[in-house]
Amino acid sequence: ICMHDGPDLDPDIRETREQREPYYLPELTDFVRRWFPHLVPEPAVTEKCIYTLTPDRGLIVDRHPKHRNILFVCGCSVIGQLLSEMATGQPPSEDLAFMSAGRFKHGVTSAKL
């Protein structure tokens, strides 16, 4: 079960002492207790995953606006297939308009440069 939220953090400092204990354990155990009543609700293992979210919390699969030979992605799963199609000049097998970086009014920039 994945919790796709959490505090903003510095990727160079993955955990502070306060962040070691997962803040979401009560919510997670309540969820398991409610929806999976035959399971032990406490997790055997917890893992943290750091990834970047866009302002609308969606994915980006697109070409660089000035350098069309550069493809970029923010996301995972089936994205590799879509990128390979784009990189080899094939039309993507899925509509990617909703993942375009162009959907942001002011473009996409890094918070830390």
pTM listed for this prediction: 0.46
- Give 10-residue mean pLDDT values along the chain (113 residues): 71 63 82 94 80 75 86 72 86 86 71 50
Instruction: Quickly list DSSP for the chain.
Output: ----------TTS---GGGSS-TTHHHHHHHHHHH-TTS-SS-S----------TTS--EEEE-SS-TT-EEEE--TTHHHHHHHHHTTPPPSS--GGG-GGGSTT----S--
Q: pLDDT value at position 73? A: 76
Question: What are residue 49's DSSP bridge partners?
Answer: none
Q: pLDDT value at position 70? A: 87
